[in-house]
Amino acid sequence: MDDGAAVSVRGLRKEYGRIEAVKGVDFDVAPGEVFGLLGPNGAGKSTTINMLCTLVRPTGGSATVGGHDIVRQRDEVRRDIGLVFQEPTVDGYLTGAQNLSFHAELYGLPKDVIGDRMRRVLDIVGLWKRRDDRVHTYSGGMRRRLEIARGLLHSPRVLFLDEPTVGLDPQTRVAIWGYIAELRELEKITVFMTTHYLEEAEYCDRIAIIDHGSVVALDTPEALKATVGRDRIRIHTDDDEAAAAALRERFLVEVAQRDGGLVLSVPSGEEFVPRLFSGLGVPIRSVQMTRPSLDDVFLAYTGSTIRDAQDGGRTGDDGAEGGEAEGGEHVNDANGVKGVNGVNGAAADSGDVRDDVRDDVRDDVRDDVRDDVRDDVRDDVRDDVRDDVRDDVPGEDPGDVRGEEVRAHGRD
Ligand SMILES: Nc1ncnc2c1ncn2[C@@H]1O[C@H](COP(=O)(O)OP(=O)(O)OP(=O)(O)O)[C@@H](O)[C@H]1O
Ligand SMILES: [Mg+2]
């Protein structure tokens, strides 16, 4: 175990009956890092995240989050983390602000800090102005941003995001990544996210590629790409024969003539191209450079492209669709749920108990929120009436008439 790590995982396993969802994974995530778990459908990403967030009990191995053991110190872990589930969980019936109040209640945030904190997180995700609108009037991207704001509300040390941008248009996905980068700067938190979008994995400092429950590669996107291939450069010149000879003799690289141009592979294209221009001795008309993609990396490590893996229906292949969560495996309980972000609509193990608890908690908090709103309105009316009385009856003690005025107001 790495004691200084934000997340430290050793031999972590989860079996559902005969389905091995996670087969013993090891990795450490440094504080302040954006760490991505990349893999196709059914690879074990959500199961891993749910174990780290204490929603699913591991079958074997161990892990710490913020230095706390995910099995023995669940409450401490829950206090330290924010979680944005794969499935949407904000309540459309409530306003954005009420959804956050709901969450603040669940976390027991002190009343005097809630206002400031709410303003800060809503500002970060650009929703402050829409805070009093009901969430069902928000776009999909706005709802996702609200979920991220909610995940940040209690200042977590580690924010877990399970497929944060799934189902969103490319523009909104880019915007959400902008927010994540910004909040890492502003809040100095560690971000642990899953994705099956290769282009999104590029935003991470490091990526673990997970396939069939095992981590098959782990490094920075650049290093992973460097392990599987070299940069490919295609050039068109005024004299391809002379250019090919110069490339072989002076630059010592193999070159192929293809499609009316020259194609070569080099380890570091961005360093090679300037040398090419200065030393080739033949006028160059165009240069095109292609770098290995994460899809090439995925292919190299798993034997299939990520898209093929998904089209192949991994979950169906291994019979996982027929699997069931085992009774008693689920670690949510009335006490546990209280500490977990986004509990209304959680996407971890299925479970009637979870649904019941979720509904109860939601009803309780919604009632509380309604009571709070009612109290606020009552206070506002009182203040208005008191002001009116002061204005209308100069010289009289407003305290004496207030009762009459309030009663009169009530009858109107
Ligand atoms: N509650 C459960 N009961 C039985 N099997 C499960 C349960 N949860 C997950 N599994 C199985 O475990 C495997 C990993 O699922 P998981 O949800 O972790 O995948 P994922 O990588 O998050 O996939 P996706 O990209 O589709 O979200 C799958 O085979 C899945 O069917
Ligand atoms: Mg998932």
Q: What is the pLDDT of residues 242-259, one digit of tens each?
A: 999 999 998 888 888 877
CATH architecture of the region 7-224+296-320+332-338? 3-Layer(aba) Sandwich (3.40)
Give me the amino acid identity at 286: S
pLDDT at 64 over 70: yes
Q: Does domain 230-291 have CATH number 3.30.70.3400?
A: yes
Closest atom of ligand 1 to 349 CA is 1
Distance CA 146, CA 151 (A): 9
Average pLDDT over residues 152-162: 89
Straight-line distance from the first to the last Cα atom of the chain, in angstroms, rounded to the nearest whole number:
69
239 pLDDT more than 50: yes
Query: Of 45-59, 159-173, 228-242, 328-342, where does mean pLDDT reach its minimum?
Result: 328-342
Q: Give the highest mean pLDDT range of 9-23, 85-99, 183-197.
A: 9-23
- State mean pLDDT over 221-235: 84
Which ligand is located closest to the Cα atom of residue 310?
1
Q: Is residue 59 within 6 Å of ligand 1 at its C-beta?
A: no
Cβ–ligand 1 distance for 396 under 6 Å, the answer no
| Residue 327 pLDDT exceeds 80 | no
Residue 111 Cα to ligand 1 middle (Å): 38
The C-alpha atoms of residue 211 and residue 224 are separated, in whole angstroms, by 15
| Integer Cα distance of 16 and 19 in angstroms | 5
Q: Is the pLDDT of residue 53 over 90?
A: yes
Ligand 1 centroid to 47 CA: how many Å?
Answer: 6
Which ligand has the shortest distance to the CA of 44? 1
Taking Cα atoms as reference points, which of 3, 89, 11, 85 lies closest to residue 46? 85
Q: Can you say whether the dihedral through the CA atoms of 64, 153, 346, 306 is positive or negative?
A: negative
Neighbour-count burial for 117-131, b at 16+ CB within 10 Å, e otherwise? bbebbbebbebbebb
**359 C-alpha vs ligand 1 centroid, how far in Å?**
24
Is the pLDDT at 392 greater than 70, yes or no? Answer: no
**CB of 326 closer than 6 angstroms to any ligand 1 atom:** no
- pLDDT recorded at residue 339: 32
Is residue 43 in contact with ligand 1, taking CB distance under 6 Å? yes
Per-residue confidence (pLDDT) for residue 396, from 0 to 100: 42
Q: pLDDT tier at 65 (50, 70, 90 boundaries)?
A: very high
- For 386, other C-beta atoms within 10 Å of its C-beta total 16
**Which is the closest atom of ligand 1 to the Cα of 86?**
27
Q: Do 279 and 273 touch, CB atoms closer than 8 A?
A: no
Average pLDDT of span 201-214 = 91
Cα 206 to ligand 2 centre (Å)? 19
Q: Confidence class of residue 99 from pLDDT cuts 50, 70 and 90?
A: very high
For the chain, give the mean pLDDT.
78
Counting ligands in written order, which one lies closest to the CA of residue 325? 1
Closest CA to 14 of 302, 304, 323: 323
For ligand 1, say whether the CB of 96 is within 6 Å of any of its atoms: no
pLDDT of residue 267: 82
Cα separation, 102 vs 17, in Å, equals 36
Q: What is the three-class DSSP state of 81?
A: strand
* Both structure tokens of 154: 């209690």
**C-beta of 325 in contact with ligand 1 (< 6 A):** yes
CB 237 within 8 A of CB 243: yes
To test ligand 1's pocket by mutation, which of 45, 166, 195 has the most ligand atoms within 8 angstroms of CB? 45
Provide the pLDDT for residue 369: 57
What's the CA gap between 54 and 75, in Å, rounded?
9
